[in-house]
A = this chain, B = another copy of it.
Amino acid sequence: MKHPYYPLSLQLPTFVANTLTVQEILGGFFACVALIIVATLRFAKNNTVGDRWAAVWFAVCGFIHCLVEGYYVLNNYRIPSDQSILGQLWKEYSLADSRYLTSDPAVLSIEILTAAVMGPLSFILAGAIVKSRPYRHFLQILVSTSQLYGCCLYYMTSYLTQFKDSHPHPFYFYGYFVVMNLPWIVLPIVMINASARATVKAFSATSKKIR
Task: Say if the beta carbon of A145 comes within 8 Å of chain B.
Answer: yes
A127 CB, min distance to chain B CBs, angstroms: 15
Task: Say if the beta carbon of A75 comes within 8 Å of chain B.
Answer: no
Residues of B within 8 Å of A152, CB to CB, are: 109, 113
Q: Do the beta carbons of B134 and A203 come within 8 Å of each other?
A: yes
Residues of B within 8 Å of A141, CB to CB, are: 138, 141-142, 145
Interface range, A side: 35 or more
Task: Say if the beta carbon of A9 comes within 8 Å of chain B.
Answer: no
Task: Say if the beta carbon of A31 comes within 8 Å of chain B.
Answer: no
Segment at the B interface, from A34-42, A53-61, A154-162, A166-174:
A154-162
A205 to B206 Cα, complex, angstroms: 7
Task: Say if the beta carbon of A110 comes within 8 Å of chain B.
Answer: yes
Question: Could you tell me which residues of chain A, from 154 to 197, have a CB within 8 Å of some CB in chain B?
Answer: 156-157, 160-161, 192, 195-196
Task: Say if the beta carbon of A105 comes within 8 Å of chain B.
Answer: yes
A47 CB, min distance to chain B CBs, angstroms: 15
Return the 5 tightest CB-CB contacts between A and B, nearest first: A106-B106, A134-B203, A109-B156, A105-B160, A202-B202
